[in-house]
Amino acid sequence: MATLGLIRHGVTDWNGQYRAQGHTDIPLNAEGRRQAELLSERIRSERWHYIYTSDLSRAMETSVIIGEVNGIEIRVDERLREMDCGQIEGTTEQERVNQWGYGWSKLDLGIEPHEAVVKRGRECFADLAERHSDQNILIVSHGALLGLTLKRLLAHIDIRENLSNTSLTLLHSGEPRWDCSLYNCTKHLTGSPSSFI
């Protein structure tokens, strides 16, 4: 059985401004780098074999910080890239309403369909779990890709809470379904108890 440690990248300036990032390559800010450093310290005593990361710089930089501290090899997988947000990238909710009206989400603005995002995520997770059976793999990706994929894989669990930046979620492969032993845990940031499923 493979264990996948799912990590949402550290925070960026656009996260703080509630701007849709999508494929736009926004780097971590100072707080995002600090979050990644705190997470790397948290997992220092754990055994992780590889890090697989999105090719976008906010995920890559998060991975490099974790990998350098813990001596973990980093591999890039473009399937872990964030959902393509089309014309809304770089905008806030209010800016979208101002430009396209309150029904903007029903318009064809070039946004990648959720089903396509889930397909990428599921295929990637399944491939990595098969390739690294009986190993522990960290995956550094993005809020929409991770969140949408988890909701599909863990339909038997009520997970409405959005993933926080540098949160850790533990996913275990297996038959007949995936299992989750830890969800959206940020104890390295807050010192609060882990959020166990």
DSSP H helices, the chain, are 13-16, 30-42, 57-70, 93-100, 114-131, 143-153, 187-190
SS3 assignment, position 4: strand
Per the prediction, the chain carries an average pLDDT of 94
Evaluate the CA torsion angle 44, 60, 185, 165 in order and state its sign.
positive
The yes-or-no answer on residue 68 being catalytic is no
**Helices 57-70, 30-42: crossing angle, 10 deg rounding:** 40
Cβ contact 131:6 at 8 Å: no
SS3 assignment, position 57: helix
Catalytic residue among 31, 41, 82, 114: 82
* Percent of all residues in the chain with a pLDDT value above 90, rounded to a whole number: 88
Reported as type and span, the H/E element at residue 3 is strand 3-8
| Burial zone of 39 (CB within 10 Å; 0-12 exposed, 13-18 middle, 19+ buried) | buried
Question: Is the full-model pTM beyond 0.75?
Answer: yes
What residues have CB less than 8 Å from 191, skipping those under 6 apart?
none
CA distance 104 to 96: 7
Q: Give the pLDDT band of residue 158 (cuts 50, 70, 90).
A: confident
What the chain holds in terms of domains, given with CATH numbers, is: 3-190 (3.40.50.1240)
The yes-or-no answer on residue 132 being catalytic is no
Q: Give the pLDDT band of residue 194 (cuts 50, 70, 90).
A: low
